[in-house]
């Protein structure tokens, strides 16, 4: 089943959203990530995507206490990313209660290291975060752009045992202008055996329906939920149908 996965982005213990990954374009939505997570679970959501934006800047996770609280007080399946630079960070995130660890910038800068993590923790734990600008990988919380295409990058990790990744079109992220359906269609054609999640730009229920037609695993939704562009009751009806 195509899964709708809400995103909780954290800066200084608050739920926020950035526009195009710009820390200067920050909107604060809630002061309690736990309450937000519980509200999602109440309508039938089963998975949660947590992005530690403070951790991404600091180079080390900053909000593991919220993972612990959400894991303790909900049954949500959590993936967590932001600031992961070493093996101990992964162990700490999993110990806090997350099921998966999202790996982004370090996967661009140190492929050998992330390859060892795939071998050690397995493809069911490591969730590759492919942030792109015009099909090229972006890194450091989207503050830099590499010269590596997402297709070449993911292909290398597939050889190492990667089973899943999500791809965020940074140019559309937080803009509510529609998902880059063509990009995900292309990714699905390149990687038919991988679990692919779309992310970035979703602004309406029609965007979700368009992505669902691609036979990808699901979509990560953030600002559209917080801004009321997608009614949480729509998600509840979809899950229950």
Q: Is 215 noted as a catalytic residue in this protein?
A: no
Q: What angle do CA 187, 190, 194 make, to 5 degrees?
A: 75
Per the residue annotation, which of 9, 79, 92, 173 is the catalytic one? 9
pLDDT at 141 (0 to 100):
47
Q: Which residue has the higher pLDDT, 18 or 223?
A: 223
Average pLDDT, the chain: 92
Q: Which of 52, 92, 131, 173 is catalytic?
A: 131
- Give the confidence band of 174 by pLDDT, cuts at 50, 70, 90: confident
88-120 CB burial, b ≥16 within 10 A, e <16 = ebbebbbebbbbbbbbbbbbbeeeeebbebbee
Q: Domain containing 29: what range?
A: 3-240
Mean pLDDT of 102-108: 90
- Provide the CATH number for the domain around residue 92: 3.20.20.70
Backbone angles phi, psi at 14, to 5 degrees: -115, 150
How many domains does the chain fold into? Answer: 1
Active site residue 9: yes
The more confidently predicted of residues 21 and 166 is: 166
> What is the dihedral sign for C-alpha 200, 67, 218, 238?
negative
DSSP 179: -
Q: Between 37 and 22, whose confidence is greater?
A: 37
- What average pLDDT does this structure show over 17-24? 69
């Amino acid at each position: 089943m195509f899964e709708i996965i809400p995103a909780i982005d954290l800066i200084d213990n608050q739920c926020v959203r950035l526009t195009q990954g710009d820390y200067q374009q920050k909107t604060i939505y809630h002061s309690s990530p736990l309450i937000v997570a519980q509200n999602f679970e109440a309508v039938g959501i089963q998975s949660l995507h947590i992005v530690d934006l403070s951790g991404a800047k600091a180079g080390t996770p900053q909000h593991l206490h919220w993972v612990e609280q959400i894991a303790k007080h909900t049954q949500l399946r959590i993936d967590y990313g932001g600031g992961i630079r070493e093996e101990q960070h992964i162990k700490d995130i999993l110990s806090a209660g997350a099921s998966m660890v999202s790996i982004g910038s370090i996967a661009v800068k140190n492929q050998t290291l992330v390859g060892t993590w795939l071998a050690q923790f397995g493809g069911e734990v490591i969730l590759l975060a492919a942030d792109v600008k015009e099909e090229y990988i972006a890194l450091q919380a989207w503050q830099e752009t590499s010269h590596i295409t997402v297709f070449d990058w993911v292909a290398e990790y597939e050889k190492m045992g990667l089973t899943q990744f999500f791809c965020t079109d940074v140019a559309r992220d937080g803009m509510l202008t529609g998902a880059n359906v063509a990009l995900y269609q292309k990714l699905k054609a390149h990687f038919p055996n991988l679990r692919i999640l779309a992310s970035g730009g979703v602004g309406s229920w029609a965007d979700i329906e368009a992505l669902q037609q691609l036979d990808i695993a699901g979509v990560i939704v953030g600002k559209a939920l917080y801004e009321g562009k997608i009614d949480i009751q729509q998600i509840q009806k979809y899950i229950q149908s």
